[in-house]
Amino acid sequence: MPLPRVNTRLAGLAFGVGRLVLGGVFLIRPEGSTRLLGLDAVTARRITWLARMAAARDVALGAGTVVSSWTGRDPALWLVGGAVSDAVDAVVIADAVRTRRLPAAKAGAMVVLAAAAAALGAAVAADGRRSRR
């Protein structure tokens, strides 16, 4: 039985707004956001610049996804870009857990969330492309 079609425009808006919110929080509170991964306070404070760089990427991807969805353009490429970024995040964080640079409990949850976001974003983009044909 085939799965129901996804409204790519609404899904794009949801993904885009979520990415804008997440990126905005990471821009404003970079230390707190890196602490979610299980970093100690000193390390988290030292890499706030890196967290802000990643946050800027999420804000840009979120804005592109929202604008394309809102204006009726196909958000698939923005969704794919976000999915690739999320997949890379999952791999990089998983490697940091594997090499014991991050604690498995907190960072492992982030790996699962990033991988799920990547899979869902890619699936929505693919579904939107199929439904346009």
Q: What is the pLDDT of residues 59-107, one digit of tens each?
A: 999 999 999 999 999 999 999 999 999 999 999 999 999 999 999 999 9
| pLDDT of amino acid 128 | 73
Look at residue 132 in the predicted model and tell me its pLDDT. Answer: 60
For residue 5, the Cα-to-chain-centroid distance in whole angstroms is: 22
Nearest C-alpha neighbor of 106 from the set 97, 98, 115, 114: 97
CA dist., res. 49 & res. 24, Å (int): 14
Q: What distance in Å separates the CA atoms of residue 49 and residue 56, rounded to the nearest whole number?
A: 11
Name the percent of the chain lying above pLDDT 70: 93
The whole-model pTM stands at: 0.88
Q: Rounded to the nearest 10 degrees, how much is the dihedral formed by the CA atoms of 61, 40, 91, 113?
A: -60
pLDDT on residue 6: 77
Calpha distance 67→64 (Å, rounded):
5
Around Cβ 124, how many Cβ atoms within 10 Å? 24
pLDDT attached to residue 57: 97
Token look-up 């991050």 returns 102
23, 55 Cβ separation under 8 angstroms:
yes
User: What sign does the dihedral 43-48-49-51 (CA atoms) show?
Assistant: positive
